[in-house]
């Protein structure tokens, strides 16, 4: 896309009505690589550029939270060679990007079953989280070894333990309390969920949190995703009427 087209997409965004939290299911690395006659891992490597583009464009717009589905619980079932390559790539990217995250005032965060990650990944991830913890322009969350059903079950387990220990009464459990046991506690729910690669499903990602999110399905494979694709998704989001179960008249009257 020509540079002036990108600028005009960006200029059309209403900065007063930005989604506070954007979540992205990065999909299509393997198919993109295959279409180029390259191994799947080449697709993952190329996807790192798109991660940068997404983070930069979201931060430049003023989005407060960006959450990326980088590795699902189910991804462990992939061939060992690919899992190892993804873990190495993740480790390298985390190590390489801390300086840039700090330069751009971006805080790194991670959700998921982090104990299942290789020790070195866990250590460098914790180090990067610690080194960026005071940044407050945007929180970039990586969902790693994450799945929503895993998250909900671990929240239910915590709740059962709290009740068993007499620290919580079942009648005091409401949505807000349950949310405090999820890995995303303290974050607003994503208002916009983007999935790339033309697939129209949510694949066990933030099922609780996306209850009212607007969904945007991009035809691009993840390695092709650039700033203008994020702008396009935000512009599309801004054209939607978010009713939260109310009528259109109730919503427009409030404006
Ligand atoms: C989905 O494509 C992508 C992944 C499982 C991994 C995403 C990882 C990256 C973009 C690389 C590094 C990320 C970070 C955060 C440093 P796929 O393999 O499922 O593609 P396919 O559906 O075409 O097979």
- pLDDT by residue for the chain (255 residues), tens digit each? 777 777 889 999 999 999 999 999 999 999 999 999 999 999 999 999 999 999 999 999 999 999 999 999 999 999 999 999 999 999 999 999 999 999 999 999 999 999 999 999 999 999 999 999 999 999 999 999 999 999 999 999 999 999 999 999 999 999 999 999 999 999 999 999 999 999 999 999 999 999 999 999 999 999 999 999 999 999 999 998 877 788 888 877 755
CA distance 237 to 188: 17
Q: Where are the domains of the chain?
A: 18-146+189-240
Atom of ligand 1 nearest to the CA of 31: 23
Architecture of domain 18-146+189-240: 3-Layer(aba) Sandwich (3.40)
Q: What is the 3-state secondary structure (H, E, C) of 146-196?
A: ECHHHHHHHHHHHHHHHHHCCCCCHHHCCHHHHHCCCCCCCCCCCCEEEEC
Contact criterion met (CB below 8 Å) for 239 and 67: no
Annotation marks residue 75 as catalytic: yes
Q: How far is the CA of 93 from the centre of ligand 1 (A)?
A: 13
User: Phi/psi class of residue 91: alpha, beta or left (left: φ > 0; alpha: ψ in -120 to 50)?
Assistant: alpha
């Amino acid at each position: 896309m020509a540079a002036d087209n990108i600028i005009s997409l960006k200029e059309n965004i209403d900065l007063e009505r930005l989604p506070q939290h954007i979540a992205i299911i990065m999909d299509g690395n393997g198919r993109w690589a295959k279409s180029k006659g390259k191994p799947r891992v080449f697709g993952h490597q190329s996807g790192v550029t798109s991660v940068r583009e997404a983070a930069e464009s979201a931060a430049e717009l003023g989005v407060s939270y960006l959450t990326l589905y980088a590795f699902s619980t189910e991804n462990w079932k992939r061939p060992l060679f690919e899992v190892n390559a993804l873990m190495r790539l993740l480790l390298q990217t985390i190590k390489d990007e801390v300086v840039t995250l700090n330069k751009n005032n971006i805080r790194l965060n991670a959700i998921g079953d982090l104990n299942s990650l290789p020790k070195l990944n866990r250590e460098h991830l914790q180090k990067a989280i610690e080194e960026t913890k005071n940044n407050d322009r945007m929180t970039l969350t990586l969902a790693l070894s994450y799945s929503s059903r895993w998250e909900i079950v671990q929240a239910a387990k915590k709740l059962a333990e709290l009740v068993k220990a007499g620290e919580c009464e079942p009648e005091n459990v409401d949505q807000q309390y349950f949310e405090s046991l999820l890995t995303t506690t303290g974050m607003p729910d994503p208002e916009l969920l983007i999935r790339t690669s033309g697939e129209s499903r949510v694949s066990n990602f933030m099922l609780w949190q996306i209850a009212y999110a607007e969904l945007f399905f991009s035809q691009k494979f993840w390695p092709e995703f650039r700033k203008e694709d994020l702008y396009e998704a935000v512009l599309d989001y801004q054209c939607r009427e978010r009713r939260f179960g109310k009528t259109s008249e109730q919503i427009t009257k409030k404006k």
